[in-house]
Every structure is written in structure tokens, then in C-alpha cells.
Structure 1
Amino acid sequence: MTLLKTKKIILTTFMSFLFLFIVFVITLFILGPDYLKAKSSPEKSDAIILLSGGEERLEQAVKLYNDERANKIILTNSTEHWTKVETVSERGIAKQDLIEEPEATSTFENATLSKEIMKEHKFKSAIVVTSDYHARRTKMTFDRVYDSDIQLSYSFADSFFNPNDGLTERETKTVFTEYVKMIAYWPRLLFV
């Protein structure tokens, strides 16, 4: 390969990455942090799918269970503290109403592995519980992974994320991370 061809390849690669970065920044600017949130609309269901990640999610699932929105809770990544059977049962949930899923390490795996459990138990509907800042990616992923014969609704727990009063350093990192992950998920979800 000649030096000129090598320079063209390097320049083209650099310009492509620069273009993608600019598109990403413009997307962040246009959509903003509020786009990450979505409206909760929990419907009475066969199960609650509790995504691991924090106490606020657990509290939301317990509230839905106590309000009799569902009588079973699927604990995704049930090795994490807030989705362990012991932790959840300490909140007054009967152990026989808890279904463990210990292997998920991502939102995509939460969706695919909980779908297997839903089919195994012949559940036809579920409320997916996660944090408010994680709402858009969760909804995008679960809606794509799940079949139309399983009805999903969503309940998003309030968290530290409140972009209306200006972004803290933690919120800024969260916005950036969520957008990067959403963009990274799109190609993967095309082939589900």
C-alpha cells in the first residue's frame, strides 16, 4: 500500500469518527436529558420484572406488588444486592412469589432472559420496573425483544436524576452514558 493510500484511509476514518461525534453531540443537544425519561403506565399484570440497579427500583416494585398490580416478581440479576431474594423478602414479599434470574449483566440480557422466564411460566403480561433515567433505553430494548403476545407496561422509579435544576456531574455522566448505550444498542436490536 502506498503512503498516499494510507493517508487517505486514515483521513477518511478520522473524518467518519468526527462526523459521528458531531451527530452524537447534536443529538444530545436537541433531545437533551429529559428525553431519557418516559411516562410510567403500569397495568395490572401477571408479573413485575425488577431490573437490578438500586433501592428505588426495589421500592417501586414492592409498591406495585402491595397494590396488587401483579403477584409475582422476576428478579433480574438476582445476585445484585437490591434484587436478591433475601433483600426483597425482607420488604414483606413472599419468597414463593419471587422468581430469580441470576445471569443478566445488561439491559439487553434483562430483556432476553426475563422473556424466557415469562414464556416458561406462561405469563402474558408484565410491568417492567427501572429508574427514570434508564426508562428510554429499557423501553426501547424490551419492546424490541418481547413478542407481541406478551403485553408490557412500565413503571419508572424516581432517582437522583433531576435535570430540571441543572445537571450535576453525576447526572451529566448518566446522560452521556445512557445516550452512548442507546446508540450502541440500536444495531443489536435490529437483529432481534
Structure 2
Amino acid sequence: MLRIYGLILIVVIITIVVIMTSPAFYNPWPALYGFLVISEDPRTSDVIIALSGGPGRDIYAAELYKAGLSRRIIMSGISPSAGQMAERAVVMGVKREDIILEERSVSTFQNALFTREIMVGKGFQSAIVVSSPYHMRRTKMVFERVFKGSGVRLIYCAAPPGLDINTPLGAEYARRTVIMEYIKLLYYWARY
């Protein structure tokens, strides 16, 4: 029964996207992109979780650390990505001993799963989760599901810069990214 509702939802969303992207319709990209973006005000937390996969995520995590919002950062992503993120954070002034590497994850779901293991093991009760703006809705959906019942408080902060959807130079890449993110969002919604 749940699969039928999921398939119906997928068909409805695809239909809406097709209609909204037709030349006869207005420019839907700002609205489609805007729906994906979730960014809350950062608050002091036990740890910052920076997800690999997009530019600026590690830099923003380092800035939050330097602003005193946390004394620890988890760099989450497959090796060598997490290590490279850690190196950039160290260059920005983060103490190497304050960085925890999670180098097993290859997906947003695994980012959540493996960082939850670290958080529970270290007794962390709160985290700022950092990712790209377009990735935040899926990140929040997955992390909320994985952390459900854990008692951990999660805050979602989008790392600048966002996608440039209004200029010809950035529009092509941004549109492909937004379309792919909606496909991934639907897949994750149905799968996890």
C-alpha cells in the first residue's frame, strides 16, 4: 500500500516538474531551488557535522567552529574526501585534534548512519549539520529518520555559496543539479 502511494506521489511530482519546466510556464527554477534550501540559525552544539560532496561545506564548518559554536567537527565522507576536508579546515585554523574523521560513507544515508554511531559513542547530544543549500532538504529528511528517538538535537545550516540559477553561466549547471536533487529526494523518501 505504501509503495502505491509512493508511486502516485512520484508521478504527481514528475508531472508538476514537467509542466513547470515547459517553455509556456514561468521560470520555475528559483521556486524549485528554494524548496530544497533549509537553513536554520546556528546555535552552540556539541559537534559540527560537515558532509562531503560540495564546495564550501568544510570551510563553513571551520567558520562555525572558529565562531565558538562547537569545539569538535566530524568530517563525513568516503576517504580521501573527509581527510581533504579536514586538511582545509586545519589551514583555516581548526585544531587537528578537534576533527573526527568518518571515512566510510558514500551516501547521505550513510553520512547520517555513521555519524550517529560516532555521536552516540562520544556522548554528543547536539549537532550542527552542514551541507550545500540544495542538499539540505534531503539531508534533513534522512538525518531526522536516522536520528529518530536518539534524543540528539540537530540544527541544519546551509553552507554558502548557493547555486547561481539566474545567470546564463550558472543556470545550466544549477538546473541539472536541482533536477538531480529532486530525483534523489524522491528516491530517498521511498527508500529510507
- TM-score normalised by L of structure 1: 0.80
Q: Following TM superposition, by how much is the alpha carbon of 1:187 offset from its aligned partner in structure 2, in angstroms?
A: 2.1
For 1:144, the equivalent position in structure 2 comes to 145
CA contact (8 A) 2:52 2:82 kept: yes
Does the residue aligned with 2:60 lie in a helix, a strand or coil?
Answer: helix
For 2:3, the equivalent position in structure 1 comes to none
Aligned residues: 173
For 2:174, the equivalent position in structure 1 comes to 171
CA contact (8 A) 1:40 1:155 kept: yes
Alignment RMSD, CA only? 2.5
In structure 2, what residue type is equivalent to 1:174?
T
Q: Following TM superposition, by how much is the alpha carbon of 1:160 offset from its aligned partner in structure 2, in angstroms?
A: 4.7
Whole-angstrom distance in 2 between the partners of 1:179 and 1:157: 19
Q: Following TM superposition, by how much is the alpha carbon of 1:21 offset from its aligned partner in structure 2, in angstroms?
A: 4.8
Which of these two proteins has the greater Rg computed from alpha carbons?
1
**For residues 108-187 of structure 1, what are the structure 2 equivalents within 5 Å?**
108-148=109-149, 149-164=151-166, 168-187=171-190
Whole-angstrom distance in 1 between the partners of 2:12 and 2:191: 22
For 1:88, the equivalent position in structure 2 comes to 89
CA contact (8 A) 1:60 1:155 kept: no
Q: Following TM superposition, by how much is the alpha carbon of 1:78 offset from its aligned partner in structure 2, in angstroms?
A: 5.4
- TM-score normalised by L of structure 2: 0.80
- Render the CA deviation track for 1:31-76: whole Å, top value 9, x for unaligned: 6221111133211100000101234111110110001100000010
Structure 2 runs not aligned, ≥5 long: 1-6, 21-27
Whole-angstrom distance in 1 between the partners of 2:32 and 2:87: 38
- Render the CA deviation track for 1:134-178: whole Å, top value 9, x for unaligned: 111111111111134000001101235033557711011111110
CA contact (8 A) 1:54 1:82 kept: no
Relative distance call for 1:61 and 1:23 in structure 2 (3 A) is closer
Structure 1 runs not aligned, ≥5 long: 1-16
CA contact (8 A) 1:60 1:157 kept: yes
**For residues 28-43 of structure 1, what are the structure 2 equivalents within 5 Å?**
29=20, 32-43=32-43
CA contact (8 A) 1:48 1:72 kept: yes
In structure 2, what residue type is equivalent to 1:24?
I
Relative distance call for 1:55 and 1:91 in structure 2 (3 A) is farther
For 1:72, the equivalent position in structure 2 comes to 72
**Aligned residues: percent identity?**
35
Q: Following TM superposition, by how much is the alpha carbon of 1:96 offset from its aligned partner in structure 2, in angstroms?
A: 0.9
CA contact (8 A) 1:47 1:123 kept: yes
For 1:51, the equivalent position in structure 2 comes to 51
Whole-angstrom distance in 1 between the partners of 2:93 and 2:15: 45
User: Which has the larger displacement, 102-111 or 161-170?
Assistant: 161-170
Q: Following TM superposition, by how much is the alpha carbon of 1:188 offset from its aligned partner in structure 2, in angstroms?
A: 2.2
Whole-angstrom distance in 2 between the partners of 1:23 and 1:55: 28
